[in-house]
Structure 1
């Protein structure tokens, strides 16, 4: 079996069209078809059901596909390790983050990585809440996720990079918007905007924990996953929200951030990764993160 046969299989499996796969591989369609037949003969099974109108993976093809991907992942890791041993770091690291909640942590990390390792490509995935980030790390579709703590028991490793008290995001015409600080209990009659309960957002969990500690269950009037959209709805007068103090500098017009007087409920921000991920690029990025995003003293 030749590597180019596996590469041809992956192209057809992803495109499900021999013409598009041939274009992607810069081949004529006839040699591509011959390559697939050679691979099928080598394996002793049909990998595709094909006719003049459609191409589909057979059960055998579906079973072979993840192993084919793994062949190229291992080859790429081998290239990266070889060049890392020679002092050169290159490759791609995928990072998932939620958006507005990471505006103070993501930029210094990405800037430092680009300055230190110009041949490293950062693939950024936005609107990744904590539960999604952990699942994607476990599945291997992300290398690093910016998450909130605590997380459920997992094979994923985390390191604290920030700790911020929650405060109130209020519409500018709210009766308490001009105060220097408010008691959370004073917002018990307000409608709250939160992330959906089923989304696995640490912001939603922190909001519920703070309100219960203040003696009430929040009345949720709107659920939305994007943290900055929560702030936008606050500015539109839809309701109030609890947010970590880092949003104070990015509040939309017609909204304000007011600290809470209560015993603080903290939102803990962390980097998460899979410790068994062998990528030398990942470990280089984590080393940079230790410098620019050190663990705060708690």
Structure 2
């Protein structure tokens, strides 16, 4: 049974004339007659009495007519709902992003783009705890954009034949501790001191990989006392006095200015990173293209403080000498950082 047959029946029941309904339906009269006959054959009963003039509905036709109206109404309502759903979905921008950037950079990015484009509807994919997992969301086509940290030394690099990116800003992760009674770091890098209590990102986040490279170049006595792939979780443990963690400055600016946290090493230990917005190279929906164009005008590094405005912890620091090779063999047992396995 075809929907156009039902529409034919409704038209013919109103006009009671094959010629008038054929003109109304924009088909020939023989074609209309054939379609009505096909519907009657599928139902197993005649719907119109053709022997009378004008034609009239049979009893079976009178029974079927309200059903035909109901069927067409249901189908049209479903079509409208699906069409509206599709239009709504096509207006939603879907992002994959690292947890820290979802809290610090993303809100401002959307606000600035809305100033140029008007109101936007955005949503996050299910957040992945691993850096690779968030990259995979874009690679698999599960999101429109990937907002992420990036550094040339940290894989994976997205295929430039398939993906493009915009540089939006920069960030740095700073080793921090709560202060001791004298205002210096309670947990600090000290020459000849005890192993540093490390609050680690584990081995699968972006900053975990940056730290692995840092410690490979600078063999350092460490004991990992806590792991969490999320910066906000590590920050909470730093604030509880549990050790040292590298926290993005955008998350700890207020605590550094107030003295609740202090730096645990000199600035050469800070980890720099780009903030990038990735997308597929191939053209996409209009809302994606408009956002991408607006983001091109958005280059707003996070509001870092200069060194003079951040209370520096007072500590006796001497850089560890670079060992032959990659330096990893100089560490053993608890001194090894789990992120070095990334």
Q: Per the shorter chain, which TM-score range?
A: 0.5 to 0.7
Residue 229 of structure 2: aligned partner: 225
Residue 210 of structure 1: aligned partner: 214
Matched, 1:161 2:142: no
Residue 113 of structure 1: aligned partner: 113
Matched, 1:191 2:192: no
Matched, 1:241 2:245: yes
Larger CA deviation: 209-218 vs 250-259: 250-259
TM-score after normalising by structure 1: 0.58
Whole-angstrom CA distance in 2 between matches of 1:92 and 1:103: 19
Residue 123 of structure 1: aligned partner: 123
Residues 1:239 and 1:126: Cα distance change in structure 2 (over 3 Å): farther
3-state SS, counterpart of residue 297 of structure 2: helix
Residue 256 of structure 1: aligned partner: 261
Question: Deviations 1:47-75 (Å, cap 9, x if unpaired)?
Answer: xxxxxxxxxxxxxxxxxxxxxxxxx89x9
Q: 1:234·1:255 contact (CA, 8 Å) conserved in 2?
A: no
3-state SS, counterpart of residue 172 of structure 1: coil
3-state SS, counterpart of residue 93 of structure 1: strand
Residues 1:254 and 1:261: Cα distance change in structure 2 (over 3 Å): closer
Shift of 1:204: 1.0
Shift of 1:282: 1.5
Shift of 1:137: 0.6
Residue 49 of structure 1: aligned partner: none
Whole-angstrom CA distance in 2 between matches of 1:225 and 1:196: 6
Residue 285 of structure 1: aligned partner: 291
3-state SS, counterpart of residue 292 of structure 1: coil
Whole-angstrom CA distance in 1 between matches of 2:181 and 2:217: 23
Shift of 1:248: 3.1
Shift of 1:94: 1.0
Whole-angstrom CA distance in 2 between matches of 1:187 and 1:124: 44
Residues 1:224 and 1:295: Cα distance change in structure 2 (over 3 Å): closer
TM-score after normalising by structure 2: 0.51
Residue 149 of structure 2: aligned partner: 148
3-state SS, counterpart of residue 142 of structure 1: coil
3-state SS, counterpart of residue 115 of structure 2: helix
Q: 1:172·1:255 contact (CA, 8 Å) conserved in 2?
A: yes
Q: Name which of 153, 171, 186 aligns with 2:178.
A: 171
Shift of 1:191: 1.8
Whole-angstrom CA distance in 2 between matches of 1:109 and 1:188: 43
Shift of 1:294: 5.9
Question: Deviations 1:110-161 (Å, cap 9, x if unpaired)?
Answer: 1123333335311135754532221001122221122121341433333332
Q: 1:164·1:267 contact (CA, 8 Å) conserved in 2?
A: yes
Look at both structures and tell me which one has the larger radius of gyration over its CA atoms: 2
Larger CA deviation: 159-168 vs 138-147: 159-168
Q: 2:178·2:260 contact (CA, 8 Å) conserved in 1?
A: yes
Q: 1:133·1:146 contact (CA, 8 Å) conserved in 2?
A: no
3-state SS, counterpart of residue 116 of structure 1: helix
Q: 1:183·1:262 contact (CA, 8 Å) conserved in 2?
A: no
Whole-angstrom CA distance in 2 between matches of 1:110 and 1:98: 16
Q: How many residues align?
A: 214
Shift of 1:193: 1.4
